[in-house]
Every structure is written in structure tokens, then in C-alpha cells.
Chains A and B, each alone.
Chain A
């Protein structure tokens, strides 16, 4: 068993809603989440929009501070990092965003876009830096002639390659991929996914991959966490979550995902989740999923279920896990 690179314990993030300096409510974006990211593995977080995937990930990277709970990086509590330690942490972690059109500065040359982390962390300057940038560009399948161009001269797929090159610049050990392939066409997505897998092996990286696309999550992840309204409802290995889902939400999500098999139609039409995701400002009491759950029972509206280990690391948060 490999060691955990990142570990969150009871992580909670609430956003306050203020009006005229008074607090009038809060968004329960992430609630009591425990998540471990083992070194060298890819953890996939999947869930619908607004379920707290991105908030969780940004809290892990110390981009926003948690309301309560702890995050450990290599066994150290990141909230107690000194300025120097935080800078080292920033060097060890990187992020690739969804939209490569807004994540690259349109006024910067590619050499500067990709080279900026190298300057900030004092790794290389001047011509040395350009050599390193060229190296990075080659790693992501771009060429020397791309060095002195502007982002608008690149296609969506190429921009995402640039964003990945920038993420790799300071030689990180952990990369957060926040919907990194969601804006791309399938043929471009295939290339980026293959590249991410190759880079992970070559550079011994650890990924946290966030997506709403179940096919992509299954393809890339070793461990999968399914989120619903700020909570992880099911977590386990790829086989556990995809082949034997135990939480009714995971089951609904999997059956809703459009299958490539035209003959699978009649089967999938039966299990349809009704209604929409409730607001995170006033999440339902008890199990947050009970308002949409096809097998809801009275206890679900009263008592929130705990994330329990059903077998061999397959965690499910449902009062009736395995019985429904």
C-alpha cells in the first residue's frame, strides 16, 4: 500500500452570504469530507455541477481556506505552513483548468506563459529558461516554433497542452486537473488523456482529476469519489464504483450517462433520477440525497448516514448500502 500524498480530514467549507454586512445564510459547499490521495495514483472526483468538486479541490491546494477540518500534504498540516513552506508547496502542486481560453494570459508569449513558474521559483532565467520551456513544450507535443507566439494562435487542444506544460514547469509531484478535457472535442480529448497517462508514468505524478464525465473518470482514475451536494456519497476503486455501485445516487448517475450502445436504451430508461439537485444553501436534512432517492425510507430524512467501509475500501454513505 502506497503512502498518502494528500489527506483531508473532516474538511468543511461554507461560503457566507452577506447582505448589508449581515450574514443572511451560507452555502454548504463541502461538508465533512475525508479523502486520501495515495502517491502515484489518480483520484477521480465525479458529480454534477454545484456538488462541491471544485471547492474541495481548491481547498486542498490552499487556494481557499477551509471553514474547519485539516489537510495534510506529505503528513504535514498545510494550515500551519510558514510562508517558505507554502511556497515550496506551491512548487510541488499545480493546476490545469477547464477553459484553456481564459486560463492563458492573452498578452504573454508562450515562452513567458510556460516559463513564469520557472522564474517565480528561481529555477532558471534568461536563455536557460527558454531551453527548459522548449523541453516542456516537447513533452506535451509542441515544437520550438511555438515558443514565441501568443495564446490566440493556438487551437483549444494545443492551449490545453500549453496549460499542462505550464503545470509541469516547476516539476510538481501533484497536479489537480479541474475538468481539464471537458471543453475539448472527443478526438482531441483522446490525445490529451493519452498524454496525461504517459506523463504520469514518466514523471511519477499524482493526479486529482475532476470531471462530470463518467467515461473520462473511469478511463483515467484508480480511485473514484462520487460527490453529491458537498458530500462524498461513495468512494472506491474503479471496479467497485463502476461495476458494483452501492449508493442509489451513483446507480442513478451511471444509468443516466448516455451509453454508446444503441441496444442499451430500454434498460436505462427505467432508473431515472427525478427532480433536480437541491440548493446547497438549505441542504435537505438527514441524507442529502433523500429528496431524489428512489428507495427513500423514513430514517433517511432524519439521520445523516456516515461513510462506511462496506468491503475492501469501498466506502458508501447510505443507511441501506447493499440492501437497496
Chain B
């Protein structure tokens, strides 16, 4: 693993939103690395900063938000130092993204075929005709039935699952090095979700793309990811390969979260509850942001932010217990 090539390295990323209510400390020193060809999962509950991480990587943080410090290295090149023009050349070609809601991320006024062909025209300078042929062939690869006909349809004429396939096709047009998938299956039914998960996995293996998979669903993480980072209130609390996180989680938050999910043997019994609720990120708790809800909290937890410690090879935990 040490010798593997790190494609994207996020280092001490700090993003804040300057609102009238105060400064929202959305990301607090987030660091992780994505290795070439792997599916890296980012999991956490709503408001923990998963999507802000994605938009910080892509340079899409909107005002009043701002990336305060940190580095985002794509093959050693810091994306945060790029100009808007340089980023435009990277977005959609080297890094692309699939969003949760395909309905609102497709333009309702353009035909599917044109929207999928657009990256070919924009990034690769292909002629319209050639681009639309390419679009049909990539739509076919995503398993869309009758791609030639569907390419002539508008987004509203397709079902949710089909639209998500079109989004995936669009994201893969330029064979990106990194695909960011921001909750792409959350709005879909389980049988369609399964189809999309298998599709992304197959295409990822075929194209050799790395994937950053963002979700709140630990089940999806278990099914598709190689390595996982668990986020809580703007920080990564635990990082390891997927088996380790599910078999022997070390951080109290990860442990509790896994036990809060109804399982086969939990019927009739009480589920684990995490006391309290997720803190607001304007004036977040001092020290470890999880300490007000943690059973193991000691005085040091409220004073000092824990550093990420490697407890076993490739398994880091940010907790004072270790």
C-alpha cells in the first residue's frame, strides 16, 4: 500500500462559511488520500461536511464559503492554487462528479444526447456529429436501454434510474482520473440502486478510474468501497480499509453508528442511541468535537483536538483513547 500511487491527496483542508449568524467551521483540518484505481468512501451523517469536501476539492465552494487553508494535490499539483480557467479544464475532464439528484443536475432544456456529448466538444474539441456518436456509445456502456432513441429524449422523459445512468455517462466521457460520486443512489429504489452500484463498479474497473464515494449509507459503503473515512462534524474521525471499519471500529462514534443501524438480530431489541445531537458548526465543541456525546470523554477531550494516530497499518483514529 505504501508503494501505491496516491492520485489525490487532501491535506489539512479547512473550509469555513462566513454567515451573519457566525463562522460555520464546516471542515476542520481534513486529510485523506485516494490511491489510483480505488473506491474511497466518505461516510457521515447530514451536515458533517461530506459534500463541502467534494466542492472544496473541485474549487466549487460558493460565497460566503471559503477554503481557508490546506492543499488538494492531484498528482502532486495543488488544485487550490489554480485559476478559474485552469480549473474549468480540469473539471469534467480529469475530475468529474455525479450528484445525488439527477433531475436537478441535468438541464431540462437540452436533449440527453447533447448534454452527454458536451464534454467531448468542450474538452476534446470534437465535432458535433462525432461527439454525439460518442455520446450514444457511452450511454450504451452505462446500460441505458435503446441509447440511440433515449439520446433524443429530454431529461423529464426518463426515469430516475435512467437519468442517473445518463449522469454517469456524462461524468465518464473524458475518462477522468477521479470520479466524485456525491450520494448518487440516495434517491433511488434498492433494486435500481443495486444496478447503479454494480454499474459504477464495473465501469470503474474497466476505465481504471478512482472514485470518491460520498454517502450517509453505511450499507452502500460496505458494498462498494475499498477504503473508508468516517466524518463527524467536519473532521475525519477514523480511516481504514472497509473490512477493518466494519469488523473492528476503534473510534467511539464509528462503533455507536454501526450499532445504531437495525440489523438481522436486532429485532425487538433496543438500538444503540448516541446521546444528544450533532453540534452546530458555529462555535463547535472545543477539543474533540464528539466529546459531549462520548461515553469515554475525559478532561483532555474537551481541551485538545485529537490527532489522527495510526493504530495498525493503514488504520488511523482521531481519538485521545489511543
- Chain B residues positioned under 8 Å from A121 (CB to CB): none
Per the 8 Å Cβ criterion, residues 1-58 of A in contact with B are: 48-49
Whether the Cβ atoms of A186 and B218 lie closer than 8 Å is yes
Contact across chains for A215 and B194 when beta carbons are under 8 A apart = no
Tell me the residues in window 276-310 of chain B with beta carbons closer than 8 Å to chain A beta carbons.
277-278
Answer yes or no: A260 CB below 8 A from chain B CBs: yes
Asked if residues B219 and A187 are in contact (CB atoms below 8 Å), the reply is no
Complex contact B219–A48 (CB within 8 A): no
Instruction: Give A277 to B189 CA distance when docked, in angstroms.
Output: 10
**Whole-angstrom distance from the CB of A33 to the nearest CB of chain B?**
20
Asked if A66 CB lies within 8 Å of chain B CBs, one says no
Beyond A187-B257, A193-B271, A260-B261, whether A157 also contacts B189 by CB under 8 A is no
Chain B CB within 10 A, most for which of A212, A256, A273:
A256
Contact check: which of A157, A258, A264, A272 meets B217 at CB < 8 Å? Answer: A258
Contacts of A272 in B (CB 8 A): 191, 194-195, 198
Q: Are B277 and A260 in contact (CB under 8 A)?
A: no
Are B257 and A259 within 8 A (Cβ)?
no
Q: Given A258-B220, A272-B195 in contact, is the A155-B260 Cβ separation under 8 Å?
A: no
B263 and A260 contact, CB distance less than 8 A: yes
Tell me whether B61 is interfacial, beta carbon within 8 Å.
no
B220 proximity list for chain A (CB < 8 A) = 258
A259 and B218 CA atoms in complex are apart in Å by 9
- A79: CB under 8 A from chain B? no
Report the Cα distance A238→B265, complex, angstroms: 11
Contact of B277 among A155, A214, A238, A252 (CB under 8 A): A155
CA gap between A98 and B115 in the complex, in Å: 34
A244 interface contact, C-beta 8 A: no
- Determine if B270 is an interface residue (Cβ-Cβ < 8 Å): yes
Task: Indicate whether A311 reaches chain B with its CB closer than 8 angstroms.
Answer: no
The residue of chain B having its C-beta at the shortest distance from the C-beta of A47 within the complex is: B189
Q: Which residues of B contact A126 (CB under 8 A)?
A: none
Count the A-B residue pairs with Cβ separation under 8 angstroms: how many? 117
Over the window 243-258 of chain A, the binary record of Cβ atoms lying under 8 Å from chain B Cβ atoms (1 yes, 0 no) is 0000000001101111
B222 touches A262 (CB 8 A): yes
Contacts of A265 in B (CB 8 A): 222-223
Shortest beta-carbon distance from A100 to chain B in Å: 14
**B191 near A48 (CB under 8 angstroms)?**
yes
- Answer whether residue B154 sits at the interface, using C-beta atoms and an 8 A cutoff: no
For B246, what are the chain A residues with a Cβ–Cβ distance below 8 Å?
260-262
Chain B 218-275 interface residues, beta-carbon cutoff 8 Å to A = 218-220, 222-223, 242-243, 246, 256-258, 260-264, 266-268, 270-274
Whether B175 is near chain A, meaning CB under 8 Å from some CB there, is: no
- Contact-size category for A: 35 or more
| Contact A276:B277 (CB < 8 A) given known A190-B260, A252-B191, A259-B222 | no
In the complex, whether A59 has a CB less than 8 A from a CB of chain B is no
Q: Is A197 at the interface (CB under 8 A from chain B)?
A: yes
Check if B190 sits within 8 Å of A276, measured CB to CB: no
Q: Are B260 and A187 in contact (CB under 8 A)?
A: yes
> B190, A253: Cβ atoms under 8 Å?
yes
With CB as the reference atom, state the residue of chain B lying closest to A215: B262
Contact of B260 among A189, A214, A262, A277 (CB under 8 A): A189
Chain B residues closer than 8 Å to A252, beta-carbon distance: 191
Q: Is the CB of A216 within 8 A of B271?
A: no
Once A186-B218, A190-B272, A215-B261 are accepted as A-B contacts, the answer to whether A253 and B45 lie under 8 Å apart by CB is no
- B216 near A262 with CB under 8 A, answer no
Assembly CA distance A192 to B266 (angstroms) = 15
Give the residues from 129 to 187 in chain A that come closer than 8 angstroms, CB to CB, to chain B.
Answer: 155, 157, 185-187
Contacts of A268 in B (CB 8 A): 194, 223
User: What is the bound-complex CA distance between A11 and B159, given in angstroms?
Assistant: 28
- Choose from B161, B198, B274 the contact partner of A269 (Cβ within 8 Å): B198
* Those of B190-218 within 8 Å (CB) of chain A: 190-195, 197-198, 216-218
Cα–Cα distance between A157 and B273 once the two chains are bound (Å): 13
> What's the Cα separation between A239 and B45 when bound, in Å?
31
What chain A residues lie within 8 Å of B278 (beta carbons)?
A: 185
A212 close to B242 (CB less than 8 A): no
A contact residues vs B (CB 8 Å cutoff): 48-49, 155, 157, 185-191, 193-194, 197, 212, 214-216, 218-220, 238, 242, 252-253, 255-265, 268-269, 272-274, 276-277
* 6 interchain residue pairs of minimum CB distance: A258-B219, A219-B262, A256-B194, A190-B260, A48-B189, A190-B271
**A-B contact list, 23 entries, CB within 8 Å:** A48-B190, A49-B189, A185-B216, A186-B216, A187-B256, A187-B260, A190-B261, A191-B273, A193-B271, A197-B270, A212-B190, A214-B190, A215-B219, A219-B262, A219-B271, A256-B194, A258-B194, A258-B219, A260-B258, A260-B261, A273-B195, A274-B195, A276-B161
Residue positions of B touching A, CB distance < 8 A: 45-46, 159, 161-162, 189-195, 197-198, 216-220, 222-223, 242-243, 246, 256-258, 260-264, 266-268, 270-274, 277-278
